[in-house]
Amino acid sequence: MSNPRNADHPIESIFLNRWSPRSYDASEMPEADLLRILEAARWAQSCYNIQPWRFLYARRGDAHWEQYVSFLDDFNRAWGQHASSLVLVLSDRIMPGDGDQRPDLPSHYHSFDAGAAATHMALQAAALDYNAHAMAGILFDDIKDQLGVPERFKIEIAVALGRRGEKESLPDFLQEMEAPSPRKPLSEIAFSGSFPAHAIPESEAA
Amino acid sequence: MSNPRNADHPIESIFLNRWSPRSYDASEMPEADLLRILEAARWAQSCYNIQPWRFLYARRGDAHWEQYVSFLDDFNRAWGQHASSLVLVLSDRIMPGDGDQRPDLPSHYHSFDAGAAATHMALQAAALDYNAHAMAGILFDDIKDQLGVPERFKIEIAVALGRRGEKESLPDFLQEMEAPSPRKPLSEIAFSGSFPAHAIPESEAA
């Protein structure tokens, strides 16, 4: 389908081409393609270059695929099962010491940095004509228990990756949502100087 | 300078061209360029498309510039004062309700999502031959008090934006660090299936 997104200021097309559909064609993804998508994530920025992100993944048809599909909640499983790969994004809550003078410390940026890596994934996927859909609706306890995720790692999200399928294969209510989402105008999110009174949410301003 | 980064799997060049130098040329940045960089951030992905990010900024020469420079800690101010723009990235701790059935709720992804927006900024900056350097070393209390940041917004980072300057203008110890940083091999951060025992950090494995 055509992409109705228009930038108010000229930006790289990769940012507008990236969006998060739910219709996937249930094809298999070559491992080489998935590694390209993860490679892009690898080069994300992070606080002190700690690189707190970790990725666990399954590809359709491999030994872990059905298990990974079972990690999605009912809503996401309904469409996510037709993806080609599922990637779990984890982040390390501890900023590792240097083994010498600097001890292990709690990380204040592990989620922030993991968000950067996750969007690198999504952008690289878009560049390869794949789509990525990030999901918070996942079974965190099952993932932790079944995949042996260490306590110090936070399970952030799952990402469904695949090629677009027919929108008509989705349930009606999801078909209605199957379009690139709009954004707030820049004038509501970016301000020169001080935080303007008009941008304070009502719940706090009241 | 040449960029020694090599991807192990082919990725878009924008990911390798983005890096975080500290030498800036202290030139002024046209507002139109800054708006392009913020526009890219606007199109980032976020949980339920909440778009929790907010940006406060000053450009060299404007009424807020000196104040923004004063928000950097001593280490970052030494080099960051030569940037062309300074952007503060905030995130909304509250996921706004719909004003009807769904109430305001605590957000679990505001930092994760803000990290996505911040890296969109950095990537768009790289595409425009600017550089972006994210900083955690900032005076959070001063920013909150002087700019009137509402309680519900978390101040995440500051970003220095500008054109590369002469590396030789930096203090010696920063000159040594003035190069694109390396990354862990993909084999240490991405795993098929379960979390492998060899990837558990020593502090937890012990």
CB proximity under 8 Å: B 82-141 to A: 90, 92, 94, 96, 104, 108-109, 111-116, 118-120, 122-124, 127, 134, 136
Closest chain A CA to residue B118: A116
Tally the C-alpha atoms within 13 A of residue B108's C-alpha that lie toward its C-beta.
8
The structure tokens listed for A54 are: 């970790």
The whole-angstrom separation of Cα A61 and Cα A76 is 19
CB atoms within 10 A of CB A192: 15
- Does ipTM come in above 0.85? yes
What is the pLDDT at residue A3?
Answer: 65
On chain B, the residues whose CB falls within 8 A of the CB of A44 are 15, 119
Where residue A148 falls (left for φ over 0; alpha for ψ -120 to 50; beta otherwise) is left
Question: According to the model, what pLDDT value does residue A184 have?
Answer: 96
- A71 Rama sector, left if φ>0, alpha if ψ -120 to 50, beta otherwise: alpha
A33 to chain B, any CB pair closer than 8 A? The answer is no
- Among A22, A35, A45, most B C-beta atoms within 10 A, so best to mutate, is A45
Rounded mean pLDDT for each run of 10 residues along chain B, 206 residues in total: 80 96 97 98 96 98 98 97 98 90 93 98 98 98 98 97 94 92 96 96 64
Q: A5, A161, A192, A200: which to substitute to probe chain B, counting the most B Cβ within 10 Å?
A: A192
CB B36 within 8 A of CB A11: yes
Enumerate the residues of chain A whose CB falls inside 8 A of the CB of residue B204: 150-152
Contact between B85 and B162 under an 8 Å Cβ cutoff? The reply is: yes
What's the rounded Cα separation, in Å, for the pair A191 and A183? Answer: 16
- Distances B12 to A40, A91, A128, A147, B143 between C-alpha atoms, Å: 8, 24, 9, 31, 36
pLDDT of A2? 52
Residues of chain A with pLDDT under 50: 1, 206
Cα distance from B166 to chain A (closest Cα, Å)? 22
CA distance A92 to B201: 10
